Structure 1
Amino acid sequence: MSDPIDPAVAEDVRRPSYGQRRRDRIDALAQAGAVDDTPGVSLIRGAWLRLRRNPVFLTGAAITVCFVVLAIIAPWIAPWDVTARPLLDEVRPQTNPVPGPQPGHPLGGDDRGRDLLSRLIVGSRQTLIVGVFATLFGLIGGVILGTIAGAIGGAVDSLVMRIVDVMLSIPSLLLAFTVASLARSPSQWTLIVSIAIIQIPIFARLLRGSMLAQRSSDHVLAARSLGVKKRAIVFRHMLPNSIGPVIVQATLSLAVAIIDAAALSFLGLGNPDQRQPEWGQMLGLAQRYISEAPHLAFYPAGCIIVVALGFTLMGESLREALDPKTRR
């Protein structure tokens, strides 16, 4: 019969050797530093994964989509023709200059007996047209100037940026008012052009800064070392990688364009044709009855505020989702 094994000796036998412990430690470190095999996602997909869980973006997107859809189908869902005057018999200049709500006219009418709800619905289309085209033209002009300044540099960059600085030094609404007042007669295109001009320097400076950052990036330096032509470098490498912040800014500028258009229309520099209602125009017409019928100004002003808020919420959320410094 063999002698019993000492427990201390048995514990030493079961304990791993120093070499084994060292190998286990190295394996653990290697496992901790292993590269994850999970496939990555693109910048756009990553931004969408964050945005679809962002209640601020969803709220802004819902408001924006409702506004766009309403503007598209406005002529077909308006209860009355905007030029019709079904409440003309209710207009009494001395006692009742503005008809109030009644059956068939939930918001009442204006001082000419026209249905207020119908004019608000149809006015959304004109507001959208002015905001979209003004932002689009401003974006195109800003991209052209920003590309020239950021790609060429030198004296051309200095000249373009000094012009942009002068434009930015003037208050935007004052500059738009000055440009609009130069027109022979106010119209919808007067609004579009004047608002587009004040947005050009914003897009130009933003794109120029992004392109200057791209000029020293690795992929641009590699393209230069391979002998790629400068035009190809600008339009294939620098501009596509710099346009993202400008597109996000366009979303925010659309809200500003709607507000500026309403301000200019309120001052009488918009489209004078009342057969094509626009929310800013309706605000200007309502100031004569602001004490007797404040709702004439309240409804179009509320529509402008809500729509501008929707574009602002959506634009800020896009900026945070696409900017690496502010990603959450």
Structure 2
Amino acid sequence: MPEPYVPEEAVTHGDGGTAALAIGEAQSLAKAPGAGPPGGAPGARARSLWSDAWHDLRRNPVFVLSALVIVFLVIIAIWPQLIADGNPYRADLAKAQQGPEAGHPFGYDTQGRDVYTRVVYGARASITVGVCATAGAALLGGLLGSVAGFFGGWWDVLLSRLADIFFGIPILLGGLVFLSVVTSSTVWPVIGFIVLLGWPQIARIARGSVVTAKQNDYVQAARALGAGNGRMLLRHIAPNAVAPVIVVATIALGTYIALEATLSFLGAGLKPPTVSWGIDISAASTYVRNSPHMLLWPAGALSVTVLAFIMLGDAVRDALDPKLR
């Protein structure tokens, strides 16, 4: 008896790819290897949630503007020599706290170092901390949250109570205590601390998304057709549960950059000789009345960076949330 065929045209746009996944599962498990599409007539493929999201993002000026700013920041973080050929450590005490002049548009700091060069080189530490901490928190939290939501039972209880313990630690106070005993001047202790206290938020979002996704009919149909746990989690549940995680992680990236700057400002984050916006803001805060340029430029760069990532996260959220369509 030939298998029933549901035309792909019947799949409506904006359904998150749910029906398309169910149809694809039934066809991939039921048809013989190498067989062509049922009926032999190729049809127009329905756009998935990701295609719809990308279609909307390309036409969103907020996304385009924030993405351009972020791309620029990433480029100068990797290759600061492209726009700053000076040495951020070179000091000339004779020019300490002097204002802008030819070739040095941002002036000098208290040690006679070029503020413009240090602002450009400071992007590397902030972007590195933000990207690596977000990636680590998203991977750890996404994995633990998915396991808790999919398997439930004592896995869910254990991981949920563990996340509650970390939720009870104030992240700023915890950073001051944890990083105050670290003597390393690299970014890795700061990244490790942010991942340690940042994963519970991602895990809670991932758990809720997985619990919601596994209740859908297409997951039950895949289970009835013989799909194992790994296939259901990776092929059906993860694609429909990852969107909220991406949104939260994108917005959290800007928050983590601001957190690194705050900890560095308080003396517990990055430490000299690392070039960091937070360190320069802390050093310039005492001289803000006499030499405001020392504070305004690194603070402005930090504000623009954080705002760009938050705007990007808001645009991604609007594109991936079907309720906002």
Find the counterpart in structure 2 of residue 217 from structure 1.
Answer: 216
Counterpart-to-counterpart distance in 2, 1:111 and 1:300:
14
Work out the CA distance in 1 between the residues paired with 2:54 and 2:151. 34
| Alignment correspondent of 2:229 | 230
- Post-superposition Cα deviations, 1:53-105, rounded to whole Å, max 9, x if no partner, equal 222222222221221222222134313111212x33233xxxxxx12212221
Q: Pick which of 304-313 and 46-55 moved more.
A: 46-55
Is 1:253 the equivalent of 2:235? no
1:186–1:72 Cα change, 3 Å: closer
Q: Distance in 2 between matches of 1:198 and 1:136?
A: 13
How far did 1:39 drift? Answer: 5.7
CA distance in 2, matches of 1:262, 1:313: 19
Q: CA RMSD in A?
A: 2.1
Q: Which residue of 2 aligns with 1:284?
A: 282
Q: TM-score, normalised by structure 1?
A: 0.81
Determine which of 66, 70, 77 is the counterpart of 1:64: 70
Paired residues of 1:176 and 1:198 also in contact (CA < 8 A): no
- Deviation digits for residues 118-176 of structure 1 (CA, Å, limit 9, x no counterpart): 01111111111111111111111101211221122012201211221232233332233
**Which ranges of structure 1 fall in alignment gaps of 5 or more residues?**
1-34, 92-97
Stretches (4+) displaced over 6 A: 35-38
1:40 is aligned to 2:46: yes
Task: Provide the rounded CA distance (Å) in 2 between the counterparts of 1:292 and 1:89.
Answer: 16
Higher alpha-carbon Rg: 1
8 Å CA contact 1:220–1:233 kept in 2: the answer is yes
Kindly state the Cα deviation for residue 49 of structure 1 after the two structures are TM-superposed. Answer: 2.0
After superposition, the Cα gap between the structure-2 partners of 1:227 and 1:40, relative to the gap in structure 1 and judged at 3 Å, is closer
| C-alpha distance in 2 between matches for 1:46 and 1:229 | 29
Q: Which residue identity is paired with 1:123?
A: G
Counterparts of 1:6-85 in structure 2, within 5 Å, are 40-85=46-91
Letter in 1 for 2:301: C
Normalized against structure 2, the TM-score is what?
0.81
In 2, the alpha carbon distance for the partners of 1:237 and 1:45 equals: 17
CA distance in 2: counterparts of 1:268 and 1:123, whole angstroms: 16
Query: Does the aligned pair in 1 maintain the 2:175–2:268 contact within 8 Å?
Result: no
Aligned length, in residue pairs: 285
- Offset from partner CA, 1:255-307 (integer Å, 9 cap, x none): 00100000011011223232x31111111221232232222121111111111
1:294 to 268, 292, 295: 292
What is the distance in 2 between the residues matched to 1:231 and 1:179?
Answer: 37
Matches of 1:152 and 1:38, distance apart in 2: 37
Q: Are 1:251 and 1:314, in contact at CA under 8 Å, matched by a contact in 2?
A: yes
Q: By how many angstroms is 1:38 displaced?
A: 7.2
- The sequence identity of aligned pairs, in percent, is 38
Q: Which has the larger displacement, 50-59 or 293-302?
A: 50-59
Deviates more, 1:41-50 or 1:165-174: 165-174
Greater displacement, 235-244 / 109-118: 235-244
Q: What is the Cα deviation at residue 182 of structure 1?
A: 4.5
Do the aligned partners of 1:187 and 1:269 also contact (CA within 8 Å) in 2?
A: no
Of residues 195-204 and 234-243 in structure 1, the stretch that sits farther from structure 2 once superposed is 234-243
Whether the aligned pair in 2 keeps the contact of 1:187 and 1:270 (CA below 8 Å) is no
Contact 1:290/1:297 (<8 A) preserved:
yes
